[in-house]
Structure 1
Amino acid sequence: MNLRTLARFPLLALAMLSLLAGVLGGLARLAVDVPAPASAQAGVHGALMIAAFFGTVISLERAVALGRFWPYLAPALAGLGGLTLLGGLPTIAAQWLFVGGGLTLLAGSVVVLQRQIVLFTVVLALGAASWLIGNLVWLATGLVQAAIPWWLGFLVLTIAGERLELTRFLPARPAAAPLFVASVVILLAGALASHWTEGAGLRVFACGLLALSAWLLRYDIARHNARQRGLTRFIAICLLAGYVWLAIGALLGIVGNFVPDAAMRDAALHAIVLGFVFSMVFGHAPIIFPAVAKVRIPYHPVFYLPLIVLHASLALRVLGNGSDDFVWRQQGALANAFALLLFIVTMVTSVVRGRRQHPGSRTGPRGDTR
């Protein structure tokens, strides 16, 4: 195992620490009894989940793909930003670390653009730029809410760009690219406008999300792969379920639930971050984690268990939010956390099983079944 591979494990540990603290902080926001140190993180729940956890994981994946040492600065800075928040250090220190991580990720995206300028690489660069802008907005305003559209844009554009890349395996469809570009333009225009007219801008942003969800449901290769078997089918089902949740979150946003203090803001945001983004994580982990950590994750039908728990618990949470039933909302959030824990346990168990099946082998599965 070379030095770069070894360096990935501390970065993954920092990401998991931010995830744990972010989840517990989110539960504290719903009056769940959690340890006092975790409860203290309730105010930076969003920053821990998106800027720290996803910032570290996504930039680490990109660093591995670039194959150079300097891009690893991005996940290192993001991971340290999360650690800074958890350590109770001045928030501005964490904000600057996240800004540094965003700059490095964007620099890596520019390197990719120099190699290949096509639509999906441009979209991935826009996703990196969105993370940077969100971090800068948080630094300038001190308001996490002001950064949320950009942070969501970071996650959604990163996923959409990666999915767009895979459409090259499908027959050419002339309308696909223009519709995709229009969706991205609407999303970014809404995020920008939200700084001057918050309500209207966030509604436009939500329209962009809805357009992207419709595009993904219509044009993504997952529709074809859902008819396959094994891991390919599992990934496709994760993706399609995520696209539905993205549409639900977008519809809630269109009617005004992205603004602070909106009645169903919790449902709107978590439909996207839990329903869409974590569904993508569940689906792609058996491919991405072996590439990053050099381990095998053999597929097993038990992979569906955390996926079912995630979506069922999110539905309970959303219904509780919509019916103003706090107990349903709280229990749904607890079950969300259990689904993430169950997913981690499932992946670790699969890694152990992979080592038993292939002693001494540390390579992941070949090919892309996404």
Structure 2
Amino acid sequence: MHPDRRPPERARRAEPSALKRLIRFSFLAVVALLVVSGVAGGLARAGIVLGRPDASWLAAATLSHAALMICGFLGTVIGIERAVAVHRPDAFVAPVACAVGAILLLAGAPWAGAWLLLAGSVAFAAVNVLVVHRQRAAHTVLLLVGAVAWCIGNVLYVANCGPAAVLPWWFAFLILTIAAERLEMTRLMPRRPAAAPALYAILGLLLGAAALSSAPGTFGGVLYGVALTMLAIWLVVFDIARRTVRTQGLSRYMAVCLLSGYVWLGLGGVAWVGTALGCPERDAALHAIGLGFIVSMMMAHVPVILPAVAGIRLRYGAFFYLPLVLLHLSLLARLAAGTIHPGLRPMGIAANAVALALFGATVAAAALAHRRSAGSTSHVSPSET
């Protein structure tokens, strides 16, 4: 019997229940709200105001832009992915706390929102302890270390220590999570014996620099930027994407996303060093990493993670490259051309937002295309890249 031609009773059992569909829809709606609010706050910080400029939610989104994007949007998404992976209902405490905390930030309750974000990160760290207990491996330990880095950043955020102290830990959380996932993907790839120790040394340097970033002087910031650049070089040299970029279809698309993201990570590290030394490169440092690197990683993994986490399958096509190309071109306009001609900077920032919206539309169109061609073999299936 063809695997897609199941008896009606079995097919009905395989369908998600109405409650599960409601939960999935609720999470997707909240995630969409957080990313839209975070992007709107980023645009407002750049002087590009959408809607009423005196709206209280927009003022809150402007003030809490980084927290909404990193802890609210990405923290919730990563928390859902980890909760689904461990198959425990109580693991959803972490993403729920992060989502509610971010909504409280938007509602003008920053103190309560910050404490809920901290609670969510602590619950997320507990989930990662369980992951390490089930599978003791280098990549699972790195995931746990990244979760602890997020907790430290949120403790500093609750204590109102300022961006210079908080952001290095928040970025360390995302960077260690990505590094751990790439280490898992390349575990079967032959590497030089010194490759793994070099990675651990670089990540240790990154964490040490994060701890020093709030101290007076430039040493912590310079060290943090150097660690970012070294990590970018390691990823370019040792990641399996160097091989899969020569393939076709989804694997090549993912590899292009990854390799281009590594380039932005290296540029962000250089800009971070410049910022620490007093150069006006803060926007380049933060957004080369936050948009160029992290969003590129997101674009690479969504076609594989979304079916596994939300049960939404996508039909891959070359149109997936459109938002990726727009993201990189708009970042170049924002960070490079904007330095030469200041008028290009707001255009680049606006195009950043358009690239994110276009990616969301691309994913939605790919999901609809798969539903229309259900039963065909053209849908996206999880694969390593």
TM-score w.r.t. length of structure 2: 0.90
1:150 is aligned to 169
Match of 1:274 among 281, 287, 291: 291
User: SS of the residue aligned with 2:255?
Assistant: helix
Mapped to 2, the partners of 1:140 and 1:365 lie a distance apart of: 44
Q: 1:247 to 1:356 in 2, by over 3 A?
A: same
1:301 is aligned to 318
2:9 is aligned to none
Match of 2:107 among 62, 87, 91: 87
Mapped contact 1:243–1:276 kept (Cα < 8 A): yes
2:6 is aligned to none
Q: 1:198 to 1:79 in 2, by over 3 A?
A: farther
Mapped contact 2:165–2:210 kept (Cα < 8 A): no
Post-superposition offset of 1:21: 0.8
2:38 is aligned to 22
Mapped to 2, the partners of 1:262 and 1:83 lie a distance apart of: 35
Mapped contact 1:19–1:48 kept (Cα < 8 A): yes
How many correspondences in the alignment?
364
Match of 1:128 among 140, 147, 151: 147
Mapped contact 2:185–2:384 kept (Cα < 8 A): no
2:64 is aligned to 44
Asked which structure has the greater CA Rg, the reply is: 2
Q: Does 1:327 align with 2:343?
A: yes
Post-superposition offset of 1:102: 0.3
Mapped to 2, the partners of 1:65 and 1:6 lie a distance apart of: 19
Post-superposition offset of 1:262: 5.1
Q: 1:135 to 1:299 in 2, by over 3 A?
A: same
Post-superposition offset of 1:168: 1.4
Gaps of 5+ in 1: none
1:368 is aligned to 383
Q: Does 1:223 align with 2:252?
A: no
Post-superposition offset of 1:141: 2.4
Mapped to 1, the partners of 2:176 and 2:24 lie a distance apart of: 24
Q: Which amino acid aligns with 2:328?
A: H
Match of 2:334 among 317, 332, 339: 317
User: SS of the residue aligned with 2:247?
Assistant: coil
Mapped contact 1:102–1:131 kept (Cα < 8 A): yes
Mapped to 2, the partners of 1:156 and 1:281 lie a distance apart of: 12
Mapped contact 2:34–2:102 kept (Cα < 8 A): yes
Post-superposition offset of 1:242: 0.1
Mapped contact 1:131–1:150 kept (Cα < 8 A): yes
Mapped contact 1:46–1:144 kept (Cα < 8 A): no
1:241 is aligned to 260
User: SS of the residue aligned with 2:157?
Assistant: helix
Mapped contact 2:316–2:380 kept (Cα < 8 A): no
Q: Does 1:351 align with 2:367?
A: yes
Q: Does 1:167 align with 2:167?
A: no
Match of 1:31 among 14, 23, 47: 47
2:4 is aligned to none
Mapped contact 2:164–2:213 kept (Cα < 8 A): no
Mapped to 2, the partners of 1:198 and 1:343 lie a distance apart of: 40
Mapped contact 1:153–1:187 kept (Cα < 8 A): yes
Mapped to 2, the partners of 1:92 and 1:296 lie a distance apart of: 38
Percent of residue pairs identical: 42
Post-superposition offset of 1:314: 0.4
Mapped to 2, the partners of 1:173 and 1:87 lie a distance apart of: 51
Mapped to 1, the partners of 2:366 and 2:202 lie a distance apart of: 38
Post-superposition offset of 1:18: 1.2
User: SS of the residue aligned with 1:169?
Assistant: coil
Mapped to 2, the partners of 1:198 and 1:297 lie a distance apart of: 49
Mapped to 1, the partners of 2:308 and 2:63 lie a distance apart of: 34
Q: Which amino acid aligns with 2:96?
A: A
Q: Which amino acid aligns with 1:188?
A: L
TM-score w.r.t. length of structure 1: 0.94
The 5 A counterparts of 1:42-121 are: 42-89=62-109, 91-121=110-140
Mapped contact 1:4–1:69 kept (Cα < 8 A): no
1:180 is aligned to 199
2:3 is aligned to none
Mapped to 2, the partners of 1:316 and 1:303 lie a distance apart of: 21
Gaps of 5+ in 2: 1-15
Mapped to 2, the partners of 1:253 and 1:234 lie a distance apart of: 28
Q: 1:366 to 1:30 in 2, by over 3 A?
A: closer
User: SS of the residue aligned with 2:214?
Assistant: coil
- Let me know the Cα RMSD of the aligned residues: 1.8
Post-superposition offset of 1:56: 0.4
